[in-house]
Amino acid sequence: MDMLTKLHKTLAFIGSYADSANPGVYACQYGEESGALEVLHEVNGLQNPTFLAVDKEHWKLYALSEGTDASGQRCGAAAAYDIDPGSGQLTLLNKEITLPATTCHIQLDHTNAILMVSSYHGGMVGVSPVLPDGRIGESTDIQQHQGASVLPVQDRPRAHSVFVDRTNTYIGVCDLGLDRIKLYKLDLAARKLHPHSEVAVAPGSGPRHFAFHPSYRYGYVINELGSTVTAFRFDEEQGVLEEIQTMATLPDDYKGDNACADIHISPDGKYLYGSNRGHDSLVVYAIDEATGRLSLVEHAPTLGKHPRNFAISPDGAHVLVANKDSDNVVTFSRDAATGKLVPTGSVLTLSQPVCIKFADV
């Protein structure tokens, strides 16, 4: 390992809203002591590379983008990059069409063999193989959702995100339009998803993002429209979710507009965090390891507007929040004992940040 690699122990990658003429993906040095970010490299050429997925084993980065099909219609696309772990430089490998509708989320399976993308506007989920050299191959599967729910925005399926259970057996898809979380069984050999089971949340909730617990058989969904988090038991053998509890993400006295966005669990599995856009806070809950139930710890202001997404550092020491409408990424220190967040004073300014992903060297 060369000296540059030794200097850069942890990298953070940021995706943003951007047109293809401007930088949209950033590679940053993460300061493990301070939690500060320093931009090392940035790339343009992608339309709205909002969400990212990182293959830490082979040093590849995958970014959502937009493309056009043979008839000139907008569609979903993704780009593959090689990561230089020393300099953070990103080198484009290829771009590939993923779905016939624009996409909003991208996820690798745990073996880094396939990419899965979801389309909010198309109500569908797609699978693309990762080729041996890291490039994205042609799509191998599309699952189209059907149905609706109770609110005007829920007049059609709206697949918002894709998540993988810890055993790499089941794929969870949050459909905001259906008020359902659909579970698919992953067929790695065929590069396909097989419908397996589903669970409903309260009508009008709008499930957006999901987090499987790292070591216990629980899962948690943040509901964008209802400003709630719902906890589930997860039967890993049967691939079934069963609701335990639903908690508000907002203080009782808050009466303003709000829409939830992201959800993550601390590496030690003790605390759960969710983002409120409108209240502009992260809600913090303690997780009861015996039951999976949640109890409120605090609402921490994000010191910016519209916290789209956030990330917990690999060591659990910091939380970095992407405040899209105030064009900044704010760093908080995280108390491992209490789960509470305190701003460090570190703020990185860049245009419309959305997604933050870490990678250890």
Helix, strand, coil content of the chain in percent (nearest 5): 5, 55, 40
246 pLDDT exceeds 50?
yes
DSSP helix/strand/coil, 53? strand
pLDDT at residue 169 tops 60: yes
Report the pLDDT value the prediction gives residue 6, as an integer from 0 to 100. 46
In this prediction, residues 238-264 reach a mean pLDDT of: 97
Residue 241 pLDDT more than 50? yes
Instruction: State the pairing for strand pair 90-99/105-108.
Output: unpaired
Residue 9 pLDDT grade (very low, low, confident, very high; cuts 50, 70, 90): confident
Give the pLDDT score at 4.
43
Query: Residue 256, class by beta-carbon neighbours within 10 Å (0-12 exposed, 13-18 middle, 19+ buried)?
Result: exposed
Handedness of CA 297, 299, 304, 307 (dihedral sign): positive
> Taking a C-beta distance cutoff of 8 angstroms, is the pair 262, 248 a contact?
no
Quote the Cα angle for 66-67-71, to 5°: 140
Cα–Cα nearest to 11, from 52, 49, 64, 66? 52
At position 167, the amino acid (one-letter code) is: T
Arithmetic mean of pLDDT, 324-332: 98
pLDDT at 215 over 60: yes
> Furthest-apart CA pair in the chain: how many Å?
57
The Cα angle at residue 184 between residues 182 and 185, in degrees rounded to 5: 155
User: Would you state the structure tokens that stand for residue 85, as one six-digit string?
Assistant: 């772990």
Cα 293 to the center of its chain, rounded Å: 22
Residue 8 has pLDDT above 80, yes or no: no
Asked whether 220 and 245 are in contact (CB, 8 A), the reply is no
| Distances in whole angstroms, Cα of residue 228 to Cα of each of 249, 262, 275 | 5, 12, 10
Exposed/middle/buried for residue 138 (C-beta within 10 Å: 0-12, 13-18, 19+): exposed
In this prediction, residues 265-271 reach a mean pLDDT of 97
* CA distances to 15, 232, 270, 274, 329 from 295, in Å: 32, 14, 11, 13, 27
Distance between CA atoms of 147 and 49, rounded to whole angstroms?
A: 28
Give the tokens for residue 100. 């016939």
What tokens were used for 351?
A: 């245009």
In the prediction, which pLDDT does 61 show? 98
Average pLDDT over the chain reads 96
Whole-angstrom distance, CA of residue 279 vs CA of residue 77: 33
List residues bridging with 74 in a β-sheet: 68
Distance CA 149, CA 268 (A): 36
For residues 75-100, give the mean pLDDT.
97
The pLDDT of residue 105 is above 70: yes
Amino acid at 313: S
Place 82 in a pLDDT band, splitting at 50, 70 and 90. very high
Can you give the C-alpha Rg of the chain in angstroms?
19
Report the predicted TM-score, pTM, of the whole model to 2 decimal places: 0.96
Return the percentage of the chain with pLDDT > 90, whole number: 95
Q: Rounded mean pLDDT of 280-290?
A: 97
Structure confidence by residue, pLDDT tens digits, 67-80: 998 888 999 999 99
Cβ(4)–Cβ(86) below 8 Å: yes
pLDDT score at 5: 43
Handedness of CA 127, 239, 209, 301 (dihedral sign): negative
Look at residue 338 and give its three-state secondary structure. coil
